[in-house]
Amino acid sequence: MSVPAPARVYLDHAATTPVLDEVVEVVAREMRQTGNASSLHDPGRRARRVVEESREQVAQALGVRPSEVVFTSGGTEADNLAVKGTYAARRAADPARDRLVVAGTEHHAVLDPVEHLVAHEGARVTWVEPDAEGVVTPDALAAALDADGGPATVALVSVMWANNEVGTVAPVPALAAVAREHGIPFHSDAVQALGQVPLDLSRVDLGVVTGHKVGGPLGVGVLTAGRDQAPVPLTHGGGQERGLRSGTLDTPAIAGLAVAVTHAAQHQAEHAAYLAGLRDALVTGALALDPGITVSGPWTPADTAGRLAGNVHLRVADCEGDSLLYLLDAAGVACSTGSACQAGVPRPSHVLLAMGVPEQEAAGALRMTLGHGSTQADVDAVLAALPPALERARRAHAAAAGSQTRRSA
């Protein structure tokens, strides 16, 4: 007799979130049309009209001018264009500007381009470390600008709007003001912030969002670049998107993106309030289950300003996050850990380490993120699945530790 599969609870919206029905409809409609937005005939002009109307919608939702919206393949490409392109442009204009000032808690879509520039383009980097809750403060940024040769050596500052792992929301307008005092462009990856906090990308010089975090299509995103910003392009060809991003425009995906971004901006306040209620129920329930569970990042019930409303990040003592993930997955709960896996070797989260969390404690991280479609029933299912998963994961951890002790003896 076969055992039925457990009901599936999806709590990994920070990775990707279900596509909205209205997005599916508009993408399907546009995929039935033929036309390259760069062509001059009627089908091409029709496609161009869809693209430009979508650009206007996205600009309005993000608080910028339509001319400042550059469509990309997603957040990673947009971050690469902002970081690599701005560094190249600023360094060419002033060779003394060889330094990047970057938060130590950034997504790898920022960290890896920075490390590439250090390794291959002679860049230097000053890391801005957060406080124990993951917050990068204006004072910390000002100190980083003054270090290593001072503000005159800085090509770009990059601090993400909201952290993808622990959910901490940065004081981005205040940070951008510090950079602007010295005439330094400020870049912010706002991928996780869209739809959960009020977002005005006119407050930064270069901003990034992507579609699939807010119910839009995969493979399409936006770089907002102020009119005075001229990053060196990473791709060359047809000169589309202000010459910053050559390539045939994906009209169906762009139309779907516009619907999703507009929906996220219009419903942000009520969506955040709803998610915060579920988040708080999940956090309080988990803390009540086990004294070995702690919360990473700032958390105050009902807060939607200091922490993303849909983010729950827990650290579990005497436990491996990967073990918990697999056990919960087997119980029908899809979530993630705070660990990155490089070359097959699990490593503690760089975000937690930057926050001062000890490496052993960082290994027991578990991230659960809520989004549209999440319900109280999902929270109840997780809280029911956690105790047996914790028990088995701790047994496995203890057995592994005992085996390591015997090998070392």
Active site residues: 341
Q: Is 59 exposed, middle or buried (0-12, 13-18, 19+ CB in 10 A)?
A: buried
d(CA 354, CA 394): 26
| Burial of 361 per CB tally in 10 Å (0-12, 13-18, 19+) | middle
Enter the DSSP assignment of 67. Answer: G
Give the per-residue SS3 of 196-265: CCCCCHHHCCEEEEECCCCCCCCCCEEEEECCCCCCCCCCCCCCCHHHCCCCCCCHHHHHHHHHHHHHHH
3-class secondary structure, 163: coil
**In a 3-state reduction of DSSP, which class is residue 22?**
helix
Q: How far is CA 31 from the centre of its chain?
A: 28
CB neighbour burial string for 327-349, b if at least 16 within 10 angstroms, e if fewer: bbeebebebbbbbeeeeeeeebb
Beta-carbon contacts of 18 under 8 Å, excluding residues fewer than 6 positions away, are 10, 215, 371, 372, 373
